[in-house]
Amino acid sequence: MFLSLPTLAWVAIAVAVTPAHIALMRWSMPTPKAKQSVSFVPLPVAVSALAFAAAKGYMVAEILYLYSAVLVMFVVMIAPVRKWVGADIAKQEDNPDIKVKAHAPSLWWIFGSGFVMLITVMAVWSAGSASL
């Protein structure tokens, strides 16, 4: 059992995280085109996680943890700065010929929170793998 949870619990977590991720990311996007593009993010994340699992021989529970953590990580990175990211996306879609300069504090948040989340996910992964 990965992190003392059975595989079925990780399946339930992944099943709950997927629609929550899609809903929150769609809420964060300003245009129909952006909403549509974020709706399909779980698919490549799932394919990547499965390929990673096959290559490394990880347990299903570990991969479901990784899948769920990555989806949550995207929400943590984008949702708090959705107003500014959305404005940049809308401006770029309205004016595709110009280069839109990204909102600097949003970039700091996205990279900073992404880094912290990545370290956290890796630490939990290590703790969970070490307990096996």
Digit-coded pLDDT (tens) for 82-132? 999 989 998 999 998 999 898 999 999 999 999 999 999 999 888 877 765
| CA dist., res. 109 & res. 81, Å (int) | 8
- Average pLDDT over every residue of 20-34: 92
Digit-coded pLDDT (tens) for 8-17? 999 999 999 9
CB atoms within 10 A of CB 102: 14
Vertex 99: Cα angle to 93 and 101 (nearest 5):
100
* pTM across the whole model: 0.86
Specify burial of residue 48 (Cβ count, 10 A radius: 0-12, 13-18, 19+).
middle
